[in-house]
Amino acid sequence: MATGQLFSKTTQALFYNYKQLPIQRMLDFDFLCGRETPSVAGIINPGSDGFQKLFFGQEEIAIPVYPTIEAASNAHPTADVFINFASFRSAAASSMSALKQPTIRVVAIIAEGVPESDAKQLISYARANNKVIIGPATVGGIQAGAFKIGDTAGTIDNIIQCKLYRPGSVGFVSKSGGMSNEMYNTIARVTDGIYEGIAIGGDVFPGSTLSDHILRFNNIPQVKMMVVLGELGGKDEYSLVEALKQGKVQKPVVAWVSGTCARLFKSEVQFGHAGAKSGGELESAQAKNQALKEAGAIVPTSYEALESAIKETFDKLLEEGKISPVTEITPPLIPEDLKTAIKSGKVRAPTHIISTISDDRGEEPCYAGVPMSTIIEKGYGVGDVISLLWFKRSLPRYCTQFIEICIMLCADHGPCVSGAHNSIVTARAGKDLVSSLVSGLLTIGPRFGGAIDDAARYFKDACDRGLTPYEFVEGMKKKGIRVPGIGHRIKSRDNRDKRVQLLQKYAHTHFPSVKYMEYAVQVETYTLSKANNLVLNVDGAIGSLFLDLLSGSGMFTKQEIDEIVEIGYLNGLFVLARSIGLIGHTFDQKRLKQPLYRHPWEDVLYTK
């Protein structure tokens, strides 16, 4: 066991099992104390590496992350404190690994419930190799104005109130982490504050004892008096009694063992910590307090009188000139996190994204205000989900079924069309699914699958303005614009597109109005008089029928309909549908293990 000071203003630690809040609290304490370097040198997250971004004052810093304890220790040979936030299941193994590193001097084990047999092995190894264990089941420790472990002393506000940003004259040791925070506050009220504070942990077998740390404090010149807070159960306090009797401690010790109320209970009571259970009269709080008092410690009559006892002891040392008054300093202001400041109403900040279609903040995601459970329980289909996420409302069943029919009819059109061809070539080049899919999607545009919006836009404008098919088609011709939704490379008057016929049949059966589709058919009649292949294609059918769906449902204003067409909703339907086919072609090529595609020479016209 170390015989003097454990920490200093240059101490650095390795933090095991990344936890953002305790690390940030350590760094905030560093800044508060005026440290030049962060106290956390590296983070160990098994299986991970890279960096974690945190704040050191106002500066954002990157702390390296290592996959193993060995790698972190080798990279930071001056980091001699190991702070272990592993669970009780793995705390022993990781702590032993840390103890075996030649650079590690102190190991703090935060976890409760470490098996007692494992704790004994750790203690034995540490004592044999002159290393220090704080814990298990500890919040850690602190040297005022220099270094702190994890969540020790709590929030920055509490640290400032307890004057822990600068050293005092009191050495404090306790079993309880929670009571340590309370005592830091008590000691700061009646003395010049803490020099070093340690919570050894509440398990039955602590890695270091109360007396271990009192003997250390006795060897630290800056520590002028000690305060000990024990508890019923175990016999740890008696090692301190022996040290006092043997004259190993020359400085005043104010001590109190909590748990005196245990005698009020008829049966044995467990007080929080695993070790806080009296195993007989010798382990009672009253017996320990009496033994400490007889050994020379200053023991008050009750916990309530502990503060007065500390004050009297400190004032006496001050009068004797053994303690010099501490010059108070004003600690720097820790920048408040934006999230915290917003929550407290101190600042306001603009959001970066607006979302009106979904919300994942509650117990379950919602689509346009409809909970996921409702969507499943009511048997909603893909069309219903599209109506919620695209149109922000629940459309009638005939509308959502029409959407699903469009998706099914447009999912694929064979391997020869440009989109499928691109996906096939990309897949055969050994590229992944996303690359193959995107390769096919990038061909969608005015000449392939991307004419639905334009068809809807032009058909709507012409119909709403009352143009005859002749006026519409010839007007487009004068502008040099082909009529979107009209014409097909294969289909003709005598070989109609079955997909168009199915859509028209469904609309006639279910739609309250098919005004725009009828106008599109009239336009087709006129264009067929010019050429046999100028038929209404699937783009034109979907575009005109979607106009009928939007206007006939009575759920959209004219402005909303114009916006839907302008934004590109209808092309989105083709993109969604055709993605199914493109993914299918990609899987098909990979399943068939097709080789790299090379276009045949005989299919290329080489010319000057």
Per-residue model confidence as pLDDT tens digits over 574-600: 999 999 999 999 999 999 999 999 999
Amino acid 275: pLDDT:
46
For the chain, the structural domain boundaries read 12-320, 358-401, 411-592
If we measure between CA atoms, which residue out of 417, 469, 465, 480 comes closest to residue 445?
Answer: 417
Q: How confident is the model at residue 274 (pLDDT cuts 50, 70, 90)?
A: very low
Q: What is the mean pLDDT of residues 37-59?
A: 96
- Report in angstroms the alpha-carbon separations of 304 from 178, 299, 310, 413, 417: 17, 12, 11, 85, 87
Whether 193 and 225 have beta carbons less than 8 Å apart is answered as no
Min mean pLDDT across 3-7, 63-67, 151-155, 281-285 is at 281-285
Give 436's Cβ-side CA count (13 Å radius).
24
Amino acid 459: pLDDT:
96
| Interval 506-524: pLDDT, tens | 999 999 999 999 999 999 9
Average pLDDT of the chain, as a whole number: 93
What are the backbone angles phi and psi of residue 33, rounded to the nearest 5°? -85, -5
Q: What is the mean pLDDT of residues 40-52?
A: 96
Q: How confident is the model at residue 261 (pLDDT cuts 50, 70, 90)?
A: low
Amino acid 337: pLDDT:
85
If we measure between CA atoms, which residue out of 86, 90, 129 comes closest to residue 106?
Answer: 129
Helix (H) or strand (E) holding 226: strand 225-231
Q: What is the mean pLDDT of residues 477-499?
A: 92
Q: Is the pLDDT of residue 300 over 70?
A: yes
Q: How confident is the model at residue 341 (pLDDT cuts 50, 70, 90)?
A: confident
> At 96, is the secondary structure helix, strand, or coil?
helix
Q: Select the more confidently predicted residue: 385 or 342.
A: 385
Burial class (CB in 10 A: 0-12, 13-18, 19+), 201: buried
Amino acid 176: pLDDT:
86
Amino acid 489: pLDDT:
85
- Report in angstroms the alpha-carbon separations of 86 from 46, 63, 79, 154: 10, 19, 19, 20
Q: Is the pLDDT of residue 438 over 50?
A: yes
Burial class (CB in 10 A: 0-12, 13-18, 19+), 36: exposed
Q: How confident is the model at residue 177 (pLDDT cuts 50, 70, 90)?
A: confident
Q: How confident is the model at residue 480 (pLDDT cuts 50, 70, 90)?
A: very high
DSSP characters for 392-454? SS---HHHHHHHHHHHHHHS---SSSHHHHHHHHHHHTT--HHHHHHHHHTT-BTTBB--HHH
The DSSP bridge partners found for residue 55 are 60
Q: Is the pLDDT of residue 552 over 70?
A: yes
Q: Is the pLDDT of residue 266 over 70?
A: no
Min mean pLDDT across 258-267, 307-316, 319-328, 491-500 is at 258-267
Active site residues: 273
The DSSP bridge partners found for residue 254 are 227, 298
Q: How confident is the model at residue 276 (pLDDT cuts 50, 70, 90)?
A: very low
Task: Give me the residue label for tokens 């997250």.
Answer: 45
Q: How confident is the model at residue 203 (pLDDT cuts 50, 70, 90)?
A: confident
Q: How many CB atoms lie within 10 A of CB 44?
A: 29
* Token reading at 40: 């956390």
Length of the chain in residues, anyone?
A: 608
Amino acid 270: pLDDT:
47
Q: Is the pLDDT of residue 22 over 50?
A: yes
Q: What is the mean pLDDT of residues 250-267?
A: 77
* Token reading at 488: 């097909």
Amino acid 579: pLDDT:
97
Amino acid 268: pLDDT:
57
Whether 584 and 556 have beta carbons less than 8 Å apart is answered as no
Q: How confident is the model at residue 135 (pLDDT cuts 50, 70, 90)?
A: very high
Give 414's Cβ-side CA count (13 Å radius).
2
CATH architecture of 12-320: 3-Layer(aba) Sandwich (3.40)
DSSP characters for 509-573? HH-S--HHHHHHHHHHHHHHTT-TT--B-HHHHHHHHHHHHHHHTS-S-HHHHHHHHHHTHHHHH
Amino acid 3: pLDDT:
79
Q: Is the pLDDT of residue 573 over 70?
A: yes
CA 541/CA 521 separation, integer angstroms: 9
